[in-house]
Amino acid sequence: MIAALKAEVLKVLTIRSTYFIIGIALAIEIFVTFYISGWQTDQVALHQPDMLANGIAQTVHALSLLTALIGLFLVTHEFRYNTVAYSLTLSNNRSKVLAAKIIVVSVVAIILTLLIATLSPLLSLLGIHANHLHLVTQSMPYKNLLWRCLFYGWGYSMAGLVIAALVRNQIGALVTLFIVPGTIEGLLMLWLKHHVVYLPFSALNVVIGHGQGVYPNAITPFHAALVFGGWLIGGSIIAWVLFIRRDAN
C-alpha cells in the first residue's frame, strides 16, 4: 500500500496538468477576489457583515471544478497513455491501487480547498484597503463554513475521480463532469422541481449554500451532505467493482 501511495503522489507531482490547473485556479481567484470583490466592490456589499463569508463559499464553489480535474486526470491519463498496467503490477491487489488514488486525491482536494478558502478573504481585504474603502465588521461562522467548504471541495474531487474510474476515457469523463452538474441536473429540475436537491451535484450545491436560494424547499446542508454521500458511496462501489474486474488495457 505504501508503494502505491508513493506512486500516486509522484504522478500528481509530475503531471503538468496539475500545475496548470492550480495556476489557472489561483489566477482566477486573484482576479475575482482582489479586483472584483475587493477593489471594485460597491458600497452595498461593504455594509454586509457576511460579505467575506459569502465570498469564501462562492470562491470554493466556483473553483472546485478545477480541483476535481486533478483527480480526473490522475486516472484518465493512465488509460489515455496506456500506463495503467504499471500501476496495477506495482501492487498485488487492484483495490490498493484505487484506494491509493482516493487517498491522494482527497489530500490534494483538502489542501487546495483550504488554500482557496484562506486566500479569498485575504485578497478581498487587500483589494478593499488598496482602494481605500472601508468594510463593516464581519461575521465569520468559522466551524460551519469550514466543514461545508471542505466537504464541497473534497466531494467534487471525489465525484471527478469516480466518473473517471467509471468512464476511463478522458474526453468522456471531462464531458460528463462538465455536463451533468449544470445541464443534466438543470433540465431534471424542470421535472423534479425542489426534489432535484436529491440528485448528487444539486445536493452538493446545497452543502455550500449555492442551492438555498434556488430551491425553496431545499434540505439543510447536513442532510444534503448525507444525500451526496449516498450517491458517492454507490458510485464508488460500482467503480471499484469495474476497476478490479476490467482489463487494464
pLDDT score at 75: 86
Query: What contacts 194, CB < 8 A, 6 or more positions away?
Result: 215, 216, 217, 218
Q: How many residues are given for the chain? A: 249
Rounded-to-integer distance, Cα 73 and Cα 182, Å: 21
> pLDDT per residue over 205-228, tens digit each?
999 987 655 555 568 889 999 999
Whole-prediction pTM value? 0.90
DSSP per-residue string spanning 37-65 = IIIT--HHHHT-TTHHHHHHHHHHHHHHH
> pLDDT per residue over 107-137, tens digit each?
999 999 999 999 999 999 999 999 888 889 8
Rounded-to-integer distance, Cα 228 and Cα 27, Å: 29
Rounded-to-integer distance, Cα 59 and Cα 62, Å: 5
Which three cell numbers, joined as nine digits, stand for 123?
Answer: 485578497
pLDDT score at 55: 92
Domain boundaries, the chain: 2-245
The parts of the chain modelled with pLDDT lower than 70 are 81-92, 211-218, 246-249
> Torsions phi, psi of 164, nearest 5?
-65, -40
Query: What contacts 96, CB < 8 A, 6 or more positions away?
Result: 1, 4
